[in-house]
């Protein structure tokens, strides 16, 4: 998955007030696109499956003019990453702005993870330039990640939205099945699992039951947590669950959210996710396709 970048690039997100040096990575975003040097740029639709080649992210030394407003983000192994919050940045060479949808398919994995995670923090910083209570300009906290209002002392923390991925399964003898869905309103949409955000006052398990009922009209039982994933494209922390249909297996599709949904046997599951190294959805679908219900735990 996107956060699995190998033992040489372990994430250390402990905040420190640091200044970048020439070899440190300094990332910049414009209109949601990341400053990068890429071998090719595909379409911006994150579901399109356009496979990019190799991406490189700028070092401080790549900037023709040193950025003025920079904050430390995290390190991946020995590499340190910073975020440039200037409205404009001036990197030399052949750096340009690549869509985050395309970067989803880029290599190497640790730079993809760095860019996506940095984009989440960039959105948060830019969306909270002014205090929501008094309107004063916000300031970077001196020793920690949050933003602080110098006028009224309001504190704002990075935005993380909990959500769920739900693999709904059934078994009638040897006939193992899973519910796959396709979202409405997308030009290209891979088959996916039921998913949704957690609402106020709701547990993750409650989210699973509600989302499955709302999207495909099924009741579920025997919920089992699989694993979690940071999904910075939508500021989300995802929790993956396996569950079983409870009662009537007839699907009733909510066409305001979904284009279609249906039961698939393991043999019928499309192989379009077989090379998906990024998403929790893809991993869960492929695990069921390869191992069936025996591989759910």
Percent of the chain with pLDDT over 70: 93
> Strand (E) positions, 193-257?
194-197, 220-231, 236-245
**Distance between CA atoms of residues 236 and 3, nearest Å:** 13
Q: Read off the pLDDT of residues 210-239 as tens digits, 9 standing for 90 and up.
A: 999 999 999 999 999 999 999 999 999 999
pLDDT at 273 over 50: yes
Other Cβ atoms within 10 Å of 253 Cβ, number: 17
- The CATH code that applies to domain 161-295 is 3.90.79.10
Say which residue the tokens 């910073």 belong to. 82
CA distance linking residue 190 with residue 92, whole number of Å? 37
Using DSSP bridges, classify how beta strands 70-76 and 11-12 pair: parallel, antiparallel or unpaired: antiparallel
Q: How far apart are CA 64 and CA 69, in angstroms?
A: 15
Tokens of residue 297, six digits: 């735990």
CA–CA separation, 58 and 81 (whole Å): 10
pLDDT band of 50, cuts 50, 70, 90: very low
Model pLDDT, residue 186 = 75
Position 46 pLDDT exceeds 60:
no
* Cα–Cα distance, 267 to 200 (Å, whole number): 39
pLDDT at 243: 96
User: Alpha-carbon distance 190 to 196, whole Å?
Assistant: 16
* Whole-number pLDDT of residue 154: 96
pTM, 2 dp:
0.88
H or E element, residue 166: strand 161-172
Mean pLDDT of the chain: 90
pLDDT tens, position by position, 115-133: 999 999 999 999 999 999 9
pLDDT tens digit sequence for 140-186: 998 899 999 999 999 999 999 999 999 999 987 668 999 999 998 87
CB distance 89 to 60 below 8 Å? no
Domain ranges of the chain: 7-127, 128-159, 161-295
Q: At residue 102, does pLDDT exceed 50?
A: yes
Is 42's pLDDT higher than 60?
no
Task: For residue 259, give the nearest of 182, 192, 188, 200 by alpha carbon.
Answer: 182
Rounded average pLDDT over 72-97: 92
- With a CB cutoff of 8 Å and minimum separation 6, the contacts of 121 are 73, 83, 158
- Residue 194 confidence class, pLDDT cut points 50, 70, 90: very high
């Amino acid at each position: 998955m996107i956060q699995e970048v190998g033992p040489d690039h372990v994430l250390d997100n402990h905040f420190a007030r640091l200044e970048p040096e020439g070899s440190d990575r300094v990332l910049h975003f414009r209109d949601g696109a990341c400053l990068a040097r890429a071998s090719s740029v595909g379409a911006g639709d994150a579901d399109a499956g356009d496979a990019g080649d190799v991406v490189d992210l700028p070092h401080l030394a790549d900037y023709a003019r040193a950025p003025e407003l920079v904050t430390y983000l995290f390190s991946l192994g020995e590499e340190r990453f910073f975020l440039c919050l200037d409205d404009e940045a001036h990197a030399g060479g052949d750096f340009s702005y690549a869509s985050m949808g395309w970067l989803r398919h880029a290599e190497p994995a640790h730079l993809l993870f760095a860019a996506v995670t940095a984009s989440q923090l960039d959105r948060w910083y830019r969306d909270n330039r002014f205090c929501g209570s008094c309107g004063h300009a916000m300031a970077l906290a001196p020793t920690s990640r949050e933003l602080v209002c110098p006028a009224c002392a309001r504190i704002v923390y990075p935005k993380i939205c909990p959500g769920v991925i739900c693999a709904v399964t059934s078994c009638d003898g040897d006939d193992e099945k899973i519910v796959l869905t396709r979202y409405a309103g997308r030009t290209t949409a891979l088959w996916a699992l039921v998913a949704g955000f957690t609402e106020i006052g709701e547990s993750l398990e409650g989210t699973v039951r509600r989302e499955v009922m709302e999207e495909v009209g099924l009741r579920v039982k025997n919920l089992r947590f699989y694993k979690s994933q940071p999904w910075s494209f939508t500021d989300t922390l995802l929790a993956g669950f396996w569950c079983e249909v409870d009662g009537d297996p007839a699907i009733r599709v909510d066409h305001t959210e979904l284009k279609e949904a249906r039961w698939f046997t393991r043999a019928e599951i499309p192989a379009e996710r077989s090379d998906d190294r990024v998403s929790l959805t893809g991993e869960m679908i492929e695990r069921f396709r390869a191992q069936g219900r025996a591989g759910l735990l």
